[in-house]
Amino acid sequence: MQRITILGATGSIGVSTLDVLARHPERYSVYALSAHSRVEELAAQCVQFRPARAVVGSAAAADRLGALLRAAGVATQIEFGEAALCAIASAPEVDSVMAAIVGAAGLAPTLAAARAGKKVLLANKEALVMSGQLFIDAAADAGAVLLPIDSEHNAVFQCLPSSYGRQPGASGVAKILLTASGGPFLTRAVDTLDAVTPEQACKHPNWSMGRKISVDSATMMNKGLEVIEAHWLFGAPADQIDVVIHPQSVIHSMVSYVDGSVLAQLGNPDMRTPIAHALAYPERIDSGVAQLDLTQIATLQFERPDFARFPCLALAFDALRAGGTAPALLNAANEVAVQAFLDLKIGFRQIDRVIARVMEALPHGAADSIEAVMSQDALARGAAENFIAGLAK
């Protein structure tokens, strides 16, 4: 019986994880759940799964959750704040941690899980984007197992040999090919993108995701962050990572080998597939996802990404090549800019302009400590907010 902590239980990944766990009660139990402010949803999950602990973002949220659980007769211990998140991620009772908190807020508890030697199911790409080598070293030192949950990275993981050790040359890997749907604006005229609304940006053609990651998919910053994550997960330099537009989202990613072979992982676009794969690895379990019928798909299309249409993708490659804290600056500026867009403070095409200005204005340093990374994160957020305030005048 594996005991699981889910960080970000009320988000799309958390909900999908609980769906898979519920199909296998003989294999898994829930030790702890967390949510920032979706108290009612978290309460319902606690009633169903009866975790020992639940963590929310504030004292007020904890009081509300407590009232709901007392009324339901559930004795879950309730805590709040970052320290509590780190505690449920590193608790000795826990075997595996689903790290699904979106954004920089997920870095500390995800790192705590790695430092505690847990099996880390990594859905929070920002942990690697921001802290890179620090995170990889912490996991290695503690004997933690990192299993990627992003559909693209999980697909790459499935296409690599089991003995792969972050050394592409030793395994004959020529390229890692990350597929991308292209989002909702793949064919929309570029000169009309200034008029895009948050509702339009959040309507992904294939995947059901939260608002922030949906906007990231529309700008292709999500793919840019995945490029940086792939670099750290698989030890591949920027020049060995390519992005391929694949609108059907059936091939989730590929690995090209020096002998000319290309291995691909295919499946219906449902996050329960990579979640189930990582939960049971190296075994396979039912995920609840329908089997792929290629005769119904009929056609698979591929094209190169247009950096004029998707400048955020180019900015991410630039940050990866720059190294140090540049990816942390990129991520922080993006989080602020996306939220400003969702709040109707800036237009869609101003997202990439804010990020570019932050990257130009702030020198990046060495990412040699979490303190250095978080300091750069704070500077980038402040700079992005200042630029956005200037745009609004």
Give pLDDT tens digits for 242-270. 999 999 999 999 999 999 999 999 999 99
Q: What is the pLDDT of residue 208?
A: 63
CATH code for residues 2-148: 3.40.50.720
**What residue segments make up the domains of the chain, in order of their start?**
2-148, 156-297, 323-392
Residue matched to tokens 């699981």:
4
Q: What is the pLDDT of residue 391?
A: 83
> pLDDT band at 207, cuts 50/70/90?
low
Task: Name which of 217, 3, 212 is nearest 95 in CA terms.
Answer: 3
Q: Determine how many CB atoms are found less than 10 A away from the CB of residue 94.
A: 21
One DSSP character per residue, 255-275 reads EEETTS-EEEEE--S-THHHH
Q: What is the pLDDT of residue 361?
A: 96
Q: Do domains 2-148 and 323-392 have the same CATH topology?
A: no
Residue matched to tokens 């659980």:
69
d(CA 305, CA 217): 13
Radius of gyration of the chain (CA): 20
pLDDT at 104 over 90: no
One DSSP character per residue, 23-51 reads T-TTTEEEEEEE-SS-HHHHHHHHHHH--
Lowest-confidence range among 26-40, 53-67, 192-206, 242-256? Answer: 192-206
According to DSSP, the β-strands at 251-257 and 241-245 are unpaired
Task: Name which of 82, 341, 361, 30 is nearest 193 in CA terms.
Answer: 341
Give how far Cα 345 sits from Cα of 203, 354, 392, Å: 20, 12, 7
- 138-174 residue pLDDT tens: 999 999 999 999 999 999 999 999 889 899 999 999 9
pLDDT at 392 over 80: no
Percentage of the chain beyond pLDDT 70 is 98
> pLDDT band at 211, cuts 50/70/90?
confident
What fold is seen in the domain 323-392? Rna Polymerase Sigma Factor; Chain: A (1.10.1740)
> pLDDT band at 91, cuts 50/70/90?
very high
pTM score: 0.92
d(CA 29, CA 35): 18
d(CA 45, CA 1): 20
Burial zone of 16 (CB within 10 Å; 0-12 exposed, 13-18 middle, 19+ buried) = buried
**Which residues does 247 contact at the CB level (< 8 Å), separation at least 6?**
181, 182, 186, 205, 301
**Which residues does 306 contact at the CB level (< 8 Å), separation at least 6?**
none
Residue matched to tokens 């005048």:
393
Percentage of the chain beyond pLDDT 90 is 89
Token readout for 115 is 């430092």
User: Considering the chain, what is the average pLDDT of its residues?
Assistant: 94
- Helix or strand or coil: residue 225? helix
- 320-367 residue pLDDT tens: 999 999 999 999 999 999 999 999 999 999 999 999 999 999 998 899
pLDDT at 209 over 80: no
